Structure 1
Amino acid sequence: MSSYLAYRAHQQDGRVSSRLETLEAAPLAAGQLRVAVQWSGINYKDALAATGAGKIMKRFPLVVGIDLAGTVIESADPRFAVGAEVIVVGCGIGEESDGGFAEQAVVQADWAARPPAGLSLREAMAIGTAGFTAAMGIQRLEDNGLTPANGPVLVNGATGGVGSLGLNMLAGAGYRVTALTAKAAAADWLRALGAAEVMLASDLPEKVRPLEKALWAGALDNLGGSTLAWLCATTQPLGSIASIGLASSHELHTTVMPFILRGVNLLGINSTYCPVPLREKVWARLGSDLKPKALNQIANREVGLRELPEVFADYLQGRVTGRTLVRTGA
């Protein structure tokens, strides 16, 4: 179709507003694909971008949505034929180029991944950037020596998309996982996802010494700030922390002592800059040994394009548990 619906953000006088619009399809350039988008998913970053609560987009106007999955309907790259199913997560869509909250999207073929065996397009978007980033964090932790035999692993921000998927993946891979959350009411849900223990954020010490009792063989950190400082001080010798998010704070006030006295590794995770070989390896694992066993429980909400404005406030106010899928196709 030459025209399609898209949820697009605009900026005027420094203020961001987003709305559903009808756009006209533009011709493809070499190396591009036109995708009939069937599914997308909402990430915290999408809520920041659509509302202007965070400076996510590099230009305006721009279609929101950092994830998409669908079918190629026009190809200017020989690697992908018309009818091929593709997944695109991160890679700057919804930030630097038009994103996935649309019936159609034009993407660079280099950004597209084929869904692995054992993973549908809906499941791929239930995983989305959140789950891909969690899996990338697990891969990096394991590349730095983490195994289930090393000891317990902590996941903070555990009710969010990255946290809940990462928790379920780690538990399914045989790790003993402690979930750290500010939501006491979610404890039973976290245990159902595989948490062996649930810690409340309110129980963390107000003041953290440079080195505390060594507790964790590894961690997925989605918060940053004082929680990440505490993780650095409580990670076991030669343990690793995958730093994924900054939902608490972008600041980190710690010392070098965990790194030079215990050999702790602080691993930065950014799926946007994931090289193709690693991207393919992570997706293959998401269709096999890292496929979340509780994916349907985690991806517990579906909305259409017209419902998007109603859900972003829940993300900004921390009321979301799990993942929200976006039905973009018919």
Structure 2
Amino acid sequence: MESYRAFVVRKEDGRFSAGWERRRFEELPEGDVTIRTIYSSVNYKDGLAAAEHGKVVAAYPIVPGIDAAGVVAASNDARFREGDLVLATGYGLGVSHDGGFAEYVRLPADWLVPLPDGLTLKEAMALGTAGFTAALSLQRLIENGVRPEDGPVLVLGATGGVGSLAVAMLSRAGFRVTASTGKAAEHEYLRRLGAAEIVGRGELADEKQAPLRKQRFAAAVDPVGGKGLRGVLAHIRYGGSVAVSGMAGGSEFEASVFPFILRGVSLLGIDSVQCPMERRAALWRSMAGPWKPEGLLADVATEVEADALQERLSDILRGGVRGRIVVRLGEPPHE
């Protein structure tokens, strides 16, 4: 095989394009390990990378796809051998380094996680960056002293990728979960994932924007961000925490210092991109073990063929995706 298929985004001479192309193997970027990609997944950042004004791509042309899982085809690093099953998320994948929307990807060995026992390649991409972000949020809440007996944990954007998996993982970890969504038709889906209660998006809003309101939640996982974060902070109990990981609702918000200085609330920033490898690998083992969502493939993930990718990238920017979209790019090996 002299070429491989890749979804390439270009911006040349003022013209923008995005679509599938044939590429020569010499066009693979520098790296220690070449992977035959079996699965990737669709994330909000991928939608931005494939949009003309998404503002996340470092330089064009680029192959998006911030997640990749597959089989090592060649390696110059002793840690990985041909035939090993591996996954990669974060770092520069899909924004400054060609990513997972291709039949082959070449990466630095330091970006790779060996597929942990308990996960298939498809399950790894059903989790992907969204699952890793949810797991990192859960870990940070626990490290900051939040316990199941402290009360319910609120999850914002609960039908999205991070939100769905946060609901499932928190429930698996013994927390009572309150899921927030503006989609009334998805209540049964959220209950299957483990939500004990469901609140409408508007229930947390306050026209007067009071900085402190009824103490309802021990903590919150917020992959949405934006102006709604003020209302979330107002409802957190004394000593609670809010883990913030996204900006689908906007990159800025207004807030009062009162939740922080009168209730001791902590605002925890969640960075899934540059998270150190030791911590990253440990969290993947947790996702393959005690935190692995029940019904991950049955309830959370939908598999699509590569030719459906462009449509799903548009869907995720419109908020039209529930759970996770796994993209099949190759024939799965016997795992």
Q: TM-score, normalised by structure 1?
A: 0.96
Instruction: Single out whichever of 42-51 and 19-28 deviates more from structure 2.
Output: 19-28
Residues 183-208 of structure 1: per-residue CA shift (max 9 Å, x gap): 11111211111111100012332332
Determine if the alignment matches structure 1 residue 180 to structure 2 residue 183.
no
More moved, 121-130 vs 1-10: 1-10
Q: Is the 8 A contact 2:29 2:107 kept in 1?
A: no
Residues 18 and 187 (structure 1 numbering): CA distance in 2 closer, same or farther, change over 3 Å? same
Given residue 323 of structure 1, which amino acid in structure 2 is its aligned partner?
A: R
- Which stretch shows the higher mean deviation, 294-303 or 236-245? 294-303
Q: Which residue of 2 aligns with 1:248?
A: 249
Could you list the structure 1 runs, at least 4 aligned residues long, displaced by more than 4 angstroms after superposition: 27-31
Q: In structure 1, what is the Cα distance between the partners aligned to 2:299 and 2:273?
A: 23
- Matched with 2:220 is 219
Cα pair distance change 1:15/1:156, threshold 3 Å: farther
Residue 34 (structure 2) pairs with residue 34 (structure 1): yes
Query: Pairwise mapping of residues 264-279 of structure 1 onto structure 2 (< 5 A)?
Result: 264-279=265-280
Determine if contact 1:165/1:298 at 8 Å carries over to the other structure.
no
- Identify the residue that residue 232 of structure 2 maps to in structure 1: 231
**1:20 counterpart residue number:** 20
Tell whether the 8 Å contact from 2:215 to 2:235 is kept in structure 1 after alignment.
Answer: yes
1:34-113 equivalences under 5 Å are 34-113=34-113
1:259 aligns with 2:260: yes
> How far, CA to CA, are the matches of 1:12 and 1:289 in structure 2?
47
CA–CA distance in 1 between the matches of 2:144 and 2:15?
A: 43
Residue 318 in 1 paired to residue 319 in 2? yes
Letter paired with 1:318: G
Deviates more, 1:20-29 or 1:61-70: 20-29
Name the residue aligned to 1:296: 297
Listed as ranges, the gaps of 5+ residues in structure 1 are none
Contiguous gaps of at least 5 residues in structure 2:
none
Q: CA deviation at 1:52?
A: 2.4
Residue 210 and residue 301 in structure 1: after superposition, are their counterparts in 2 closer, same or farther (change >3 A)? same
Residue number in structure 1 paired with 2:282: 281
2:164–2:300 contact (8 Å) kept in structure 1: no
Residues 30 and 77 in structure 1, CA contact (< 8 A), matched pair in contact too: no
Q: Tell me how far apart the structure 2 counterparts of residues 308 and 19 of structure 1 sit (CA, whole Å).
A: 9
Counting matched residue pairs gives: 330
Q: Name the counterpart of 1:169.
A: 169
Alpha-carbon distance, 1:251 to partner? 1.0
SS across alignment from 2:35: strand
Is the Cα–Cα contact under 8 Å of residues 30 and 76 in structure 1 kept in the other structure? no
Percent of aligned pairs sharing the same letter: 46
Cα root mean square deviation, aligned: 1.6
- Name the SS of the counterpart of 1:271 in structure 2: coil
Paired residues of 2:237 and 2:263 also in contact (CA < 8 A): yes
Bigger drift between 21-30 and 219-228 goes to 21-30
* Contact residue 87 and residue 124 of structure 1 kept, 8 A: yes
For residues 217-267 of structure 1, give each alpha carbon's deviation from its aligned partner in whole angstroms, at most 9, with x where no partner exists: 111001112221111111111111110111111111001111122111111
